């Protein structure tokens, strides 16, 4: 028994490592095999054993995926790493229980038969159950993006694999990845080697479907008037203190970026999230200096700068400012980070660099902003990880998307790459060109087709010019973001109903046989 447990737990650990590589590091190849050891480990096990094995899997994944919290919290707070250790342990325990519960449910619902039809039915069941579980987790942890774990994340690395997201969102990518993993695992376990063509065919058909979607979109999208955007990547570390010793130097870096942008003759300048680390005022000296430099070039600015509400409470805002300094509107971040921007049950992690401010989300300023080039939709920071955030912008008329972010706190972790590929998912889901300015992270442009036009990361300040084509295209994923989840729920209901009916018929037959005897 101990040997069986050890083998199963080893497989669970291996699967946890592979899943971390696939999901967090956006690895297309590993996504097709990461769950195979887990499904092999829980095959034919009792539900209690399945729960324990999945706990080991979840804890392994969590240790790798959430380790950044320990040193990260120390940087956030300016204190020791005890905050990080506490958040890490709670997060790891929660996600491990999530994995255990999900696997237990699958074990309880799956068909016990080992024939090929049952294997296929169970593969679809596994994909459907993972989709629903991840959707629920996303809904429950909307302010905690580190729990925004999607098994299909790694497929975002491939241009064709990401295309079906324009219809069904991220959920279809989770479904196909999990279903293929399960089919390979069980077909291999049963040594039905000749049947491996089934998962292979699924992968090929899925990628071919993505290719058709990509070609169709590129061939049918009307050619609209474009405009040029200068991405002003200041790359200033977020824990630096703006004071009398550093202020002039940091201001000069921002002004130099604007001087460089003027030479490129852009239509619009995109700043990063909270690029100016104080609250907006109409007569702000830095803002006035910026427009002295850029007014002759007639540049519109999308500026990241907070809006004061009252003492230690702000809105995390993006301002649209026309040449001359006239503000046409502002967007306030709607999906705030729990514990960090917004208190959760009264608890707020003290920020060293921001002196403990908290943020508010004012729904009055939640809509896209009208510019001279079309309606600009906004995703600030972690909003790029939330499908509903982009869908809301598109539903309200956004013709292109702008992602303003700050990865300075995580610039030596996988989160930097993950953020950029979340933006790719949002671009494809909405079929909107999406410009990214991420301080200390990857900045660039993802086309509505999913093509990565520009992707650049540097420790030094830089200005990058990109071209955006606004469009009025509305995708199924933007209009009905949960349609695939409903389909998965319907499938699970059908499987459960058929199982109950079959069980009832068998019990009735047994009862009839006993009565006849």
pLDDT computed for residue 490 by the predictor: 96
Cα–Cα–Cα angle for 448, 450, 455, rounded to 5 degrees: 105
Local confidence band at 282 (pLDDT 50, 70, 90 cut-offs): confident
Q: What is the mean pLDDT of residues 398-414?
A: 90
Local confidence band at 351 (pLDDT 50, 70, 90 cut-offs): very low
Local confidence band at 479 (pLDDT 50, 70, 90 cut-offs): very high
Task: Please provide the distance, in angstroms rounded to a whole number, between the alpha carbons at the two ends of the chain.
Answer: 40
- SS3 label, residue 93: helix
pLDDT tens track for 481-515:
999 999 999 999 999 888 787 766 655 555 656 55
Residue 350 pLDDT > 60, yes or no? no
**Any residues with CB less than 8 A from the CB of 81 and at least 6 apart, and which?**
70, 71, 73, 74
pLDDT tens track for 37-57:
999 999 999 999 999 999 999
pLDDT computed for residue 278 by the predictor: 83
CA quadruple 34, 35, 36, 41: dihedral sign: positive
pLDDT computed for residue 447 by the predictor: 97
- Asked whether the beta carbons of 432 and 377 are under 8 A apart, the reply is yes
- SS3 label, residue 405: strand
CA quadruple 503, 509, 511, 514: dihedral sign: negative
Distance CA 311, CA 394 (A): 33
pLDDT computed for residue 31 by the predictor: 98
Residue 75 pLDDT > 90, yes or no? no
Per the DSSP assignment, residues forming a β-bridge with 303 are: 319
pLDDT tens track for 433-458:
999 999 999 999 999 999 999 999 99
Q: Which of 48, 37, 30 is nearest to 8 (CA)?
A: 37
User: Percentage of the chain surpassing pLDDT 70?
Assistant: 90
Distance CA 20, CA 12 (A): 12
* The CATH fold of domain 227-479: Nitrilase/N-carbamoyl-D-aminoacid amidohydrolase (3.60.110)
Tell me the pairing of strands 443-446 and 400-406.
unpaired
Distance CA 461, CA 441 (A): 12
**Any residues with CB less than 8 A from the CB of 191 and at least 6 apart, and which?**
none
pLDDT computed for residue 195 by the predictor: 95
Helix or strand (DSSP H, E) at 454: strand 452-456
User: Phi first, then psi: what are they for 341, rounded to 5°?
Assistant: -100, -35
pLDDT computed for residue 107 by the predictor: 94
> What residue spans in the chain does CATH classification 3.60.110.10 cover?
227-479
Q: Which of the pair, 501 or 200, is modelled with greater confidence?
A: 200
Encoding tokens for residue 287? 């803002």
pLDDT computed for residue 352 by the predictor: 39
Q: Which of the pair, 447 or 309, is modelled with greater confidence?
A: 447
Among 15-29, 169-183, 253-267, 301-315, which stretch is predicted with the lowest mean pLDDT? Answer: 301-315
pLDDT tens track for 213-229:
999 999 988 777 999 99
Quote the mean pLDDT of the chain: 89
Q: What is the mean pLDDT of residues 456-473?
A: 94
pLDDT computed for residue 339 by the predictor: 66
Local confidence band at 201 (pLDDT 50, 70, 90 cut-offs): very high
CB 258: neighbour CB atoms within 10 A?
A: 22
Helix or strand (DSSP H, E) at 106: helix 82-109
Distance CA 132, CA 106 (A): 12
Helix crossing, 47-65 with 2-24: angle to 10°?
Answer: 40
pLDDT computed for residue 222 by the predictor: 75
pLDDT computed for residue 507 by the predictor: 58
Residue 178 pLDDT > 90, yes or no? yes
CA quadruple 489, 163, 230, 420: dihedral sign: positive
Per the DSSP assignment, residues forming a β-bridge with 313 are: 310, 358
Q: What is the mean pLDDT of residues 360-386?
A: 90
Q: What is the mean pLDDT of residues 285-296?
A: 90
Q: Which of the pair, 60 or 223, is modelled with greater confidence?
A: 60
Local confidence band at 202 (pLDDT 50, 70, 90 cut-offs): very high
pLDDT computed for residue 10 by the predictor: 94
Distance CA 393, CA 389 (A): 7
Local confidence band at 1 (pLDDT 50, 70, 90 cut-offs): very low
Looking up tokens 């460089």 gives 260
Residue 281 pLDDT > 80, yes or no? yes
The phi-psi region of residue 440 (left if phi > 0; otherwise alpha if psi is between -120 and 50; otherwise beta) is left
pLDDT computed for residue 337 by the predictor: 77
Local confidence band at 517 (pLDDT 50, 70, 90 cut-offs): low
pLDDT computed for residue 514 by the predictor: 58
Q: Which of the pair, 325 or 265, is modelled with greater confidence?
A: 265
- Asked whether the beta carbons of 55 and 204 are under 8 A apart, the reply is no
pLDDT computed for residue 51 by the predictor: 97
Per the DSSP assignment, residues forming a β-bridge with 436 are: 403, 444
pLDDT tens track for 77-125:
555 677 778 888 989 999 999 999 999 999 999 988 789 999 999 999 9
């Amino acid at each position: 028994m101990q040997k069986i447990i050890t083998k199963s737990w080893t497989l669970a650990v291996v699967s946890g490592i592979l899943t971390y590589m696939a999901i967090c590091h956006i690895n297309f190849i590993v996504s097709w095999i990461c769950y195979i050891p887990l499904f092999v480990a829980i095959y034919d096990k009792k539900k209690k054993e399945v729960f324990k094995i999945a706990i080991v899997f979840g804890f392994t994944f969590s240790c790798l995926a959430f380790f950044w919290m320990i040193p990260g919290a120390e940087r956030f707070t300016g204190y020791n790493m005890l905050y990080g250790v506490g958040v890490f342990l709670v997060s790891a325990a929660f996600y491990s229980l999530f994995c255990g519960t999900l696997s237990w449910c699958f074990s309880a619902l799956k068909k016990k038969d080992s024939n090929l039809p049952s294997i296929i039915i169970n593969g679809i069941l596994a994909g459907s159950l993972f989709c629903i579980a991840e959707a629920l987790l996303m809904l429950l942890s909307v302010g905690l993006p580190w729990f925004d774990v999607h098994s299909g994340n790694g497929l975002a690395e491939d241009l064709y694999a990401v295309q079906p997201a324009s219809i069904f969102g991220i959920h279809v990518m989770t479904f196909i990845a999990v279903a293929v993993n399960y089919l390979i695992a069980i077909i291999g376990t049963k040594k039905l080697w000749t049947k491996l063509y089934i998962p292979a065919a699924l992968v090929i058909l899925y990628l071919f479907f993505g290719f058709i979607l990509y070609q169709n979109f590129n061939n049918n999208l009307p050619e609209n008037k474009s405009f040029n955007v200068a991405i002003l990547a200041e790359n200033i570390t977020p824990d630096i203190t703006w004071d009398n010793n550093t202020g002039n130097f940091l201001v000069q870096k921002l002004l130099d970026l604007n001087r460089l942008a003027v030479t490129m003759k852009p239509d619009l300048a995109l700043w990063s999230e909270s690029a100016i680390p104080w609250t907006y005022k109409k007569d702000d000296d830095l803002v006035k200096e910026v427009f002295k430099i850029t007014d002759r070039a007639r540049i519109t600015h999308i500026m990241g700068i907070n809006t004061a509400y009252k003492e230690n409470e702000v809105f995390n805002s993006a301002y649209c400012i026309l040449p001359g300094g006239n503000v046409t509107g502002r967007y306030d971040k709607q999906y705030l980070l729990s514990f960090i921007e917004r208190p959760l049950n009264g608890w707020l992690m003290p920020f060293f660099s921001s002196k403990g401010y908290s943020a508010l989300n004012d729904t009055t300023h939640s809509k896209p902003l009208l510019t001279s080039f079309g309606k600009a939709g906004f995703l600030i920071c972690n909003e790029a990880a939330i499908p509903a955030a982009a869908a809301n912008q598109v539903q309200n008329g956004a013709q292109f998307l702008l992602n303003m972010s700050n990865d300075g706190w995580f610039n030596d972790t996988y989160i930097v790459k993950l953020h950029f590929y979340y933006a790719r998912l949002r671009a494809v889901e909405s079929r909107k060109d999406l410009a990214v300015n991420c301080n200390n992270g990857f900045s660039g442009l993802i086309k509505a087709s999913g093509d990565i036009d520009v992707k650049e990361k540097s420790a030094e300040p830089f200005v990058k010019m990109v071209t955006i084509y606004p469009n009025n295209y509305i995708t199924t994923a933007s209009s009905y973001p949960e349609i695939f989840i409903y389909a998965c729920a319907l499938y699970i209901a059908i499987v459960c109903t058929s199982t109950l009916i079959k069980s009832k018929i068998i019990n009735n037959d047994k009862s009839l046989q006993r009565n006849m005897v």
